[in-house]
Chain A
C-alpha cells in the first residue's frame, strides 16, 4: 500500500544497531520531482532512514516500496542495479575516486551500466558544464577545491538520470557561497529532470531549498507539511 503518486514510500521502519534503536516506526513518502528535507539532531536516525530508503541498509521491520515494488523482495543484484541506474547519491565528502580525473569520475556510473567511453565522457562533460566545473574535467579530485569537488559529485549523481537523488549533508563541508550554489544547481537540475530528492541536512538554509521537511526525532519521522 503506497500513497497515490508516491515514488518512494516507507512504512513502520525499525532498525536497531545493538540495543539502540536508530529508527522506531518511521514513515516517509516522496513524489517525483519533489525535494524533501530530512532534518533532526545528530543521532536522530536521519542517515539510517536515508540508507533504508536507498536499500543500502535492510530494516529490521517495516517496508520500503520503490515505484510500487517492495525493496526487500528484490534480489541483491536488482537492488544494486537500482542503485546504479535509478538512484543517485551525494554525500558530504570522500565520494570521488582519487585516481580518476573529474570527467572520468562523472562518467563512471554510465560506464558501469555498459555505456561506451566516448559517449559516457561526452555526457559527463555536459553535466560538468551544467554544474559550472567543466574547466576541471582533466584534473583529479585531489587537485580541485572542495566546492568544485562537490559539484563534480553532484554531476556524477545526476549523470545517469536518476529518479531519486539521495543527498546526505551535501553542503556540509562547503562555505556559505559554495554551499548555496551547489544547492541551487542540484535542485534546479533535479526539478528539471523530475527526480525526487531526499535531502538529509541539519542546516536550515539548505532545507529551505526543499518543498517540505520531515523531522526525525527518537527514530520517528514527522512530516511537518500538515503542522502549519
Chain B
C-alpha cells in the first residue's frame, strides 16, 4: 500500500497535524500494521519536498513545535492519478509454491502432502479472517473479504495443481 498517497487522501478532507494523520490512518487502514510516528514524519517531509503538501500552520507549545499540513493542488492531482491507476496483480505466492511442488516431484518427495499442508495453512488463516469478519464492522468485513478471496484463489490453483500432479511429475522427472 502507498502510505504517501493514503496520507494525502486523508488530507483532502482538511489540514491535519502529523499525530492526527497517524490516528486517522490507523483507525481506517492500520488494522494489522499501525504506522510508526517516524513513518508519518518521513513521509510528510517527502511530500512537502515534492510540493504535494504545504505547511498550513505551526503551533509553538511547551514541547516540540507541531506542524499542520494541507494538501496542495498538485497533491490532489497525485491522489487522483493513484486512485485511477489499477494495481498490478501479483502472482507471487504461486511462483514459490510452484517451485516447491516441482522440486518435491523432482526429488521424489510427496508433492500431494506438501499441497495438503499448504491448504491447511491457508485454511487456518481463512478461519481467522472469517472469525474477525463475523465479529467486526462493515469495514472489517470488506478488508477480510478481499484477503479471503485472494487466499481462495491460491487454493483454487492448489487444487488444480493437485489434480495435475501425475501429469506434472511426468513432465519434470527424467
Residues of A within 8 A of B (CB): 39, 41, 184, 202-205, 207-210, 213, 215, 217, 222, 224, 227-228
B127 on interface, CB distance cutoff 8 Å: yes
Q: What 6 A-B pairs are tightest by C-beta distance, nearest first? A: A208-B126, A224-B120, A208-B130, A204-B155, A204-B152, A227-B120
Contact (Cβ within 8 A) A204 B116: no
A222/B116 in contact, CB under 8 A: yes
**Interface membership of chain B positions 82-125, coded 1 if the CB is closer than 8 angstroms to chain A and 0 otherwise:** 00000000000000000000000000000010001101111110
Of residues 128 through 174 on chain B, the ones whose CB sits less than 8 Å from some CB of chain A are 129-130, 134, 148-149, 151-152, 155-156, 159, 162-163
Closest chain A residue to B153, Cβ basis: A204
Max count, chain A CB within 10 A of own CB: residue among B120, B126, B163? B120
Q: In the assembly, what is the distance between CA of A202 and CA of B126, in Å?
A: 14
With A184-B134, A215-B116, A217-B112 given, is the CB distance from A208 to B123 under 8 Å? yes
Give the number of residue pairs across the A-B interface with Cβ within 8 Å.
Answer: 50
Contacts of A207 in B (CB 8 A): 123, 126
Supply 19 A–B pairs (Cβ within 8 Å), ascending by A.
A184-B134, A203-B152, A204-B151, A204-B156, A205-B149, A208-B123, A208-B126, A208-B127, A208-B129, A208-B148, A209-B127, A210-B127, A217-B112, A222-B116, A224-B119, A224-B123, A227-B116, A228-B120, A228-B124
Q: Which of B123, B130, B163 has a CB less than 8 Å from the CB of A213?
A: B123
**How many Å lie between the Cα of A207 and that of B120 in the bound state?**
11
A205 and B144 alpha carbons, distance in the complex (Å): 11
CA distance A222 to B119 in the complex (A): 12
The number of residues on chain B lying at the interface, defined by a beta carbon within 8 Å of a beta carbon of chain A, is 23
Q: Other than the known A204-B119, A227-B117, what 19 A-B pairs have Cβ atoms closer than 8 Å? A: A184-B134, A202-B159, A204-B126, A204-B152, A205-B149, A205-B152, A208-B123, A208-B126, A208-B129, A209-B127, A213-B120, A213-B123, A215-B116, A215-B119, A217-B112, A224-B116, A224-B123, A227-B120, A228-B120
Closest chain B residue to A37, Cβ basis: B123
A204 CA / B162 CA spacing, docked (Å):
15
Highest count of chain A CB atoms <10 Å: which of B123, B155, B159: B123
Q: Which residues of B contact A (CB under 8 A)?
A: 112, 116-117, 119-124, 126-127, 129-130, 134, 148-149, 151-152, 155-156, 159, 162-163
Known pairs A184-B134, A208-B127, A208-B148; A41 contacts B159 (CB<8 A): yes
A20 to chain B minimum Cβ distance, whole angstroms, is 17
Q: Which residues of B contact A202 (CB under 8 A)?
A: 159
Closest to A225 in B: B120
- Least Cβ–Cβ distance between A202 and chain B, in angstroms: 8
Residues of A within 8 A of B129 (CB): 208
Tell me, in angstroms, the Cα distance from A110 to B134 when the chains sit together.
31
Q: Is the CB of B134 within 8 A of A204?
A: no
Q: Which residues of B contact A227 (CB under 8 A)?
A: 116-117, 120
Q: Within the assembled complex, what's the spacing in Å between the Cα atoms of A30 and B123? A: 19
B148–A205 touching, CB < 8 Å: yes
Q: Across the two chains, which residue of chain B brings its CB closest to A209?
A: B130
Nearest residue (CB) in B for A202 is: B159
On chain B, the residues within 8 Å of A203 by CB distance are 152
> Shortest beta-carbon distance, B126 to chain A, in Å?
4
Contacts of B124 in A (CB 8 A): 228
Most B-side CB within 10 Å, residue of A202, A204, A207: A204
* Chain A residues, Cβ within 8 Å of B151: 204
B122 touches A41 (CB 8 A): no
Cα distance A150–B112 when bound, in Å?
34
> Measured between C-beta atoms, what is the minimum distance from B142 to chain A in Å?
12
CB distance from B68 to the nearest CB of A (A): 42
